[in-house]
Amino acid sequence: MNRLLIVSLFCEGSVSFLLNEQSHRLRAPIAGRPQSSILSRRSRAYAKRLEALSAEDEAEEEDEQRNAFVDTLVGIGQVALMALPFFLPLGLGALDGPPVVPMEAEARAVSAAGFKPPPINRDIPLTERCRFVSSAMGQANAARDKLLDLRECDMSGKNAKGFDLSGALGADADFRKVNFENAQLSKGYFLRAKFDDAKFFNSVTDRADFTGASLRNVDFRQAVLTGTNFEDANVEGADFSDIYIGDFGLKQLCKNPTLKGTNPVTGADSRESAGCNMFDIDR
């Protein structure tokens, strides 16, 4: 708008100058003062007004640039604040905390994290509670529509092939010779349970807790075992051929002194099937 006003004033001044110049030729000086003096004063007034408007224009432009710069800084600050929760733990850990542990190092499953399951509801008859029931919600994050509590149940010899048993509680239960082929047991809680001669072929048994469990002669071929805890478990004669467990989990498994013997069904050497010899991991 200031630019339009400047042009308008310039045109107005030019027209006035021409008219006054013509009047100067036709009329005598006013009140004893020459016409050129009047025109000179008007020209200076127009010039001052033009200078004032130019200064206002420059001030407005500087304000716009300053505001744009401030907006940029505010935007950068907002992005930094949004990213802070992601990078702050890493920075603090690098300064004075333990090193960041990789995701697959979740070998200490639910119990090691201080998980305390609810007490067993002994008002429910064993015939009703001790049944394999597949989850209706899918195995993502072990979510279930209803708690599957198999603790202290005798499930030996039953068939759970293809079942979704994620998040199941099975501490101190008997799962000997159970068929878990193609089943999903993510985040299962199986402390001190018996799984001798069970079949986990092609199952998804990640982040499960087998602390103190008996897994003798178990078939784990092609199973997903990332983050699963085998601490104090007896894995003698188990077949771990083609498992997916990650380097950290494999190192922990290969430290188990019971990882020895031969699987009676597949004939595989337990330690070799896990890949301990290939990675040259000491017993």
Are 89 and 210 in the same domain? no
Q: Give tens-digit pLDDT for 37-76.
A: 555 666 676 667 667 666 776 777 777 777 776 666 666 6
The rounded distance, in Å, linking the Cα atoms of 116 and 109 is 12
Residue 127 vs residue 1, higher pLDDT: 127
pTM of the model: 0.60
Are 133 and 272 in the same domain? yes
Kindly indicate the confidence band of residue 95, based on its pLDDT and cuts at 50, 70 and 90.
very low
Q: Please report, for the domain that includes residue 154, its CATH number.
A: 2.160.20.80
Task: Tell me the average pLDDT across 201-220.
Answer: 98
Are 140 and 225 in the same domain? yes
Are 92 and 122 in the same domain? no
Identify the weakest region by mean pLDDT among 56-70, 113-127, 184-198: 56-70
Are 45 and 170 in the same domain? no
**Among residues 96, 124, 151, which one ends one of the domains?**
96
Are 34 and 148 in the same domain? no
**Among residues 72, 96, 120, which one ends one of the domains?**
96
Q: Which range of residues forms the domain containing residue 175? A: 103-283
Residue 18 vs residue 87, higher pLDDT: 87
